[in-house]
Structure 1
């Protein structure tokens, strides 16, 4: 069984994915999963579900939504993750490999450790699995409550870091050329993220598309100059010079 929130909130057992029918329950599943294994006070959950003006029946409504979510989890897997009531609030109690958020973070950490040890092939496999857990934005299709927005911001940053780590380790292994389309899209979405640009230059060069790689570098120079008034880092400039020399040779 898996609890999914890196995309539309859902639960999955085998190949069957089930989405909570009601919007409030989907939001509740999302916030519980983002903060899996941490107690969320009732007042905190009320703020998440009704950020502006909670109804007088908010506490009772939360308990009804929790009961519906418990039924869904129990129907999918009676021995799987569950919602536990503690003295400090409500907890989605689940093993780290059951919730995609915690599984992603564990795989990212493991991939980085493997890379630091020089085990690039194993690191690439680990990071590929981590990136592959993302089916879309966190809590896709549901509004992200302000109370979990910092957590979501951290996850979004970790996803980009995972993609950058994966691109670099696959470049080291000589097999990053198939990342070009994804990286080309990401530099449009995140134009000030220089590491993505550097990965794209490297991937294009590895694919033998050196003229395109040099053009991408010059685009980066213009973006950084116009937006931040800075030049590319030494690492990016060194890559550019290596690609330029290689084309000339």
Structure 2
């Protein structure tokens, strides 16, 4: 892998990881990586680097930052990702596994396909690798420019969904003890993700901790009522009733 943006933007190659020294170059690397293999128009790049008031020399400055980024890529990842100029703008052209964003998305798709075919152990392996690519928030340490904010929002949602998928597969594999602790932390981090709560209830029940499972459900009811003014979904309620009645 050569370009990293699921955390601090960096370029990795030959056993070396380099975070560009100049902040503008780090932002440029981040927005290009988030939109890997998709064109980023010059005006979008300018908006990303100077969200308030671009200088008169903005276009020339962009070319300077691009030249520096190209040098870094060429030195650390020769023959790997490169920045291509097209009539539609600038593109970080890269193979799917050469950018952590696209590798993450490939591994998630692979994990879900394996899960659909009942290959839970292999699915868990792919999903663990996908989730493990995240070293922190997208473009950690930098402001997320408005031009890529929708892309970042989608990525963050994909990450949480992948975490949920992984927890579900681990539960199917019978990995209950370690799962309970992980899910207990995740419902604190993502209190409005009902699927995580449901998985925690299921993991507790499967571990023989029925009273704790019922208590978790009651906590979820309070959270949803206070924060969203809604009740748990039918799927969660059905699980609760099964645990309550000793059927799960």
Which residue does the alignment assign to 1:179?
A: 179
Name stretches of at least 5 consecutive residues in structure 2 with no aligned partner.
none
**What is the deviation of 1:181?**
3.5
**What is the deviation of 1:200?**
1.8
Which residue does the alignment assign to 2:94?
A: 94
Equivalent residue runs for 1:114-153 within 5 Å: 114-153=114-153
**What is the deviation of 1:34?**
0.3
- Give the 3-state SS of the residue equivalent to 1:142 in structure 2: coil
Aligned residues: 248
- Give the 3-state SS of the residue equivalent to 1:33 in structure 2: helix
**What is the deviation of 1:182?**
3.4
- Give the 3-state SS of the residue equivalent to 2:143 in structure 1: coil
**What is the deviation of 1:79?**
1.3
Report which stretch shifted further, 67-76 or 232-241. Answer: 232-241
Distance verdict in 2 for CA 1:41–1:116, change over 3 Å:
same
Which residue does the alignment assign to 1:227?
A: 227
Conserved 8 A contact 1:167-1:176: no
- Give the 3-state SS of the residue equivalent to 2:112 in structure 1: helix
TM-score (norm 1): 0.93
Distance verdict in 2 for CA 1:181–1:51, change over 3 Å:
farther
2:161 and 2:188 mapped to 1: Cα distance? 16
**What is the deviation of 1:110?**
1.2
**What is the deviation of 1:176?**
4.1
Which residue does the alignment assign to 1:199?
A: 199
Calculate the aligned-residue CA RMSD, in Å.
Answer: 1.8
- Residues 10-61 of structure 1: CA distance to partner in whole angstroms, max 9, x if unpaired? 1112542110111111110000000001111111100111111011111111
Report which stretch shifted further, 198-207 or 217-226. Answer: 198-207
TM-score (norm 2): 0.94
2:2 and 2:213 mapped to 1: Cα distance? 40
Distance verdict in 2 for CA 1:175–1:138, change over 3 Å:
same
1:51 and 1:127 mapped to 2: Cα distance? 36
Name stretches of at least 5 consecutive residues in structure 1 with no aligned partner.
none
